[in-house]
Structure 1
């Protein structure tokens, strides 16, 4: 009789806690159901107040294997915590295309970026009474040129035990040729992984979860693709939540969050995990 294939433990991480009360509520609901085992907190978000942080801490205590990380944020429409952050656009961080171009053209000051990220890490510590379990980036800013070095230095100095998220996917390149966003993140992650290794910072061995949300695809079908071939300790990024006025004012990713929540809360998801010999436990 052949031995059973061991279960692979993955991190199913809900990004954007702190963006809006509806997003927070959706994430806490799934943590309580045991359908998430990680979330990353946007400390600059309008819904990252004391009551929302206490509610998250209470939900996570009921699930002791639920990791809580920092969702480092450097793009509009959010504002920096540090007084001297530059460049800004109308008092807000730059848009994601402008931030990426600033990194490529080397017009960003890594020390200013590092100072902002260290302040976000310190704010997380004040909120939760401890450093984050991991650190990732809103809109994958941790992978951007110049930003990545400041990001890794800030983590090394302020949260050395944390792991950081890379967004490369192992496996045949042919699987990703029809997904430009995934290929882009793969390419950026090569340098990020190399720099993290030199800094002695742990990274996740695999990543999935990026897709074009504007097309409103079937999330269950996507999740099947995300889990295929994902290694042990790999990360699947997700964005569940409930739509509210705050979310609509800040982010174009709205109704699809409710579709993600509905799938993750439903009966099909545990069956898919079992089928793929994957666990969140």
Structure 2
């Protein structure tokens, strides 16, 4: 029996810019070569000059891609003056934003304008377009949003790839996780749109699980790797809990658990056992395009 082929994957830490503790944890893991991508929230409260420079320094060797984490949900505020709908001056909460998109109550031009503004803010902070673009709480795959998202990315960062959230798993396994099944369904249309537009995207996705109760990240990470194709992406949310994080996001202590596993010896051992390495960002052009 021949040895299994090596798979190269993306391990992407979301939410850089959310809080100083989240930023620090992500930088520490990048320095340890435990991550090869991180997504930046340009509307987050911890994305000042010092935090940007610290990320630039730890990624200077090119071993970690930096993307834009498009943010269109509460409690964050838009960059554009006339964005709507809003609630209390902030974006709608996740559930309300999803309902508005499903009921086609959004204005794609207004949404595209906000995404374009966030792309421009990233370029101003880092001096270049993002390597890839994804979405906080998967907003990029929502109806109406996805059209605006693809249009804005194609115009401002045509060489970037984008994140789709569909899993490469048998139907029975996909049906077992309703949240992930919704992501699969929305991603099918998103992938078709990307293919028509010429934007590359990851061929597989993993990392969605129930954040509402404590989970040993080391017990779920193996399932994320199962069946993940070459070039696939696993999202993660490591962080150190601080007051800023507690004030903005319900995902707190679980970030510490994710960090602890990724920083441990058990993580590289898991990759080695599965014949997996972290994707080199320079090779992404050959791995990120997928056909629907």
Counterpart check, 1:234 vs 2:224: no
Matched residue, 2:14: 15
For this pair of structures, how many residues does the alignment match?
279
Matched residue, 1:85: 83
The runs of at least 4 consecutive aligned structure 1 residues that moved more than 6 Å come to none
Matched residue, 1:75: 73
Q: Distance in 2 between matches of 1:242 and 1:249?
A: 14
Q: Distance in 1 between matches of 2:63 and 2:231?
A: 13
Q: Distance in 2 between matches of 1:56 and 1:224?
A: 28
User: Which runs of structure 2 are paired with 1:9-88 in the superposition (5 Å)?
Assistant: 9-62=8-61, 64-88=62-86
Q: Distance in 1 between matches of 2:191 and 2:142?
A: 12
Superposition deviation, residue 213 in structure 1: 1.1
Q: Distance in 2 between matches of 1:40 and 1:171?
A: 25
Matched residue, 1:270: 268
Deviates more, 1:209-218 or 1:115-124: 209-218
Q: Which runs of 5+ in 1 are unaligned?
A: none
Deviates more, 1:210-219 or 1:152-161: 210-219
Q: Distance in 1 between matches of 2:37 and 2:103?
A: 35
Q: Which runs of 5+ in 2 are unaligned?
A: 280-292
User: 1:86-117 CA distances to partner (integer Å, 9 max, x unpaired)?
Assistant: 11101000111111111122111000000000
1:55 aligns to what SS in structure 2?
Answer: helix
Q: Distance in 2 between matches of 1:3 and 1:59?
A: 38
Superposition deviation, residue 5 in structure 1: 3.1
Q: Distance in 1 between matches of 2:169 and 2:254?
A: 27
Q: Distance in 1 between matches of 2:32 and 2:230?
A: 22
Q: Distance in 2 between matches of 1:225 and 1:92?
A: 36
Q: Distance in 1 between matches of 2:219 and 2:2?
A: 29
Q: Distance in 2 between matches of 1:42 and 1:224?
A: 28
Q: Distance in 1 between matches of 2:161 and 2:258?
A: 25
> How large is the RMSD of aligned CA atoms in angstroms?
0.9
User: Which runs of structure 2 are paired with 1:167-186 in the superposition (5 Å)?
Assistant: 167-186=165-184
Matched residue, 2:289: none
1:135 aligns to what SS in structure 2?
Answer: strand
Matched residue, 2:5: 6
Q: Distance in 2 between matches of 1:158 and 1:52?
A: 24
Residue 205 of structure 1 is aligned with which of 185, 203, 206? 203
Superposition deviation, residue 3 in structure 1: 5.1
Superposition deviation, residue 204 in structure 1: 0.3
Q: Distance in 2 between matches of 1:185 and 1:3?
A: 34
1:241 aligns to what SS in structure 2?
Answer: coil
Matched residue, 1:113: 111
- Scaled by the length of structure 1, the TM-score of the pair is 0.97
Q: Distance in 2 between matches of 1:23 and 1:173?
A: 35
